[in-house]
Each structure stands twice: as structure tokens, then as C-alpha cells.
Amino acid sequence: MMIPILKTERLILRGFQQSDLDAYAEMCADEEVMRYIGTGKVLSRAESWRSMAAIIGHWYLREYGLWAVEEQQSGEMIGRIGCWKPEGWIGFEIGWSLRRAFWGRGFATEAGLASIDFAFTQLHQSHVISLIRTDNTASRRVAEKLREKLEGETEVLGSKAVIYGISRKEWEKLRVNNY
């Protein structure tokens, strides 16, 4: 399977490569980054490699997944963003996680917009969600910038989370109005 490549103004969303492991392992070893991801625990380098392999496998099993996000200007792999729905997940999710050095620059919003558009236009999804730990105010702001609305609460991997979401119909209205 060929993982599609998306380009935005400043980013390239592409499949993971072996050369991404150093940056990805750094991100997964950062307590501040990982406190809202998965179980909230940091990953070892070997666990980070397995996480990358699972992301690649998701693409092959579902024909969509999380992209490695590369900053065009520097060529650095800055995080992972994209579509996610492992077995048993409550909905088709748009998720994001960035290396801390790249926080606060609008990259999550930029790649999130591209991911949502891909989900609706290429994958023909009718609704997408983002699952966010209740105390993750930065990600809640990203979801709001993506025009997702608060839809409820749930539990994810043992932690309380809020569900933000947007329908394809609402997304199409935003696109018509030059979101």
C-alpha cells in the first residue's frame, strides 16, 4: 500500500520511515508530551519503534492512519497527526501529537485541517472525532480551531476524556465559506 502524502503551507504529512525513529523516540520519551497520550506513560526507544510499526500497520489494515509530520523548512519530523480507529475505538478519530519543541506554532491545527479534509473527501467519513483528556487545554484549543464541537465525555485507556467532533455536512459548510 502506498501511504498518501499531503502537503500544507509548512508541512508534509507522509508515512513513517526508519530515519524518523530518533525524533519519534525523543517525543515518546518526553513526559510532558506523553502525559496526555495513550496511558500517559513515556515509551522506551524499543516501545517507540513498536508504536511506529503499529501506526504503519494501521495504514495497511485500515487504508488510513497517522502520518509522520515533517516541517518543510527544516526537514525535521515533528510529530504524528492523522486518522485513527483501532479495533474497539469509539469513533473515527483525528489525533495529533507533536514534539515539544514544535508546540505553539499552529502545526497541529494546520495538519489537523488537512487530516479532516482527507477523512471527508478521500475516505468519505460522515463524522470525525478527537478524544482529548479533560485537562489537556492545549489540545482542546486545537479541536476548537478545527471547528470541532464538544459532544460529550468518555473514558479512554483508563482516563477521562472529552469528545470533540464535526460532521462532513458542517465541514462542507465551512469549506464553502472559505474556512
Sequence spans of domains, the chain? 6-126
For residue 175, what pLDDT is reported? 75
**161 forms bridges with which residues in the sheet?**
133, 154
pTM for the full predicted model: 0.94
Instruction: Provide the grid cell at 51.
Output: 508504536
Alpha-carbon gap, residue 161 to 179, rounded angstroms: 27
Tens digits of residue pLDDT in 38-97? 889 999 999 999 999 999 999 999 999 999 999 999 999 999 999 999 999 999 999 999
**Given this structure, which CATH class describes domain 6-126?**
alpha beta
Tens digits of residue pLDDT in 80-116? 999 999 999 999 999 999 999 999 999 999 999 999 9
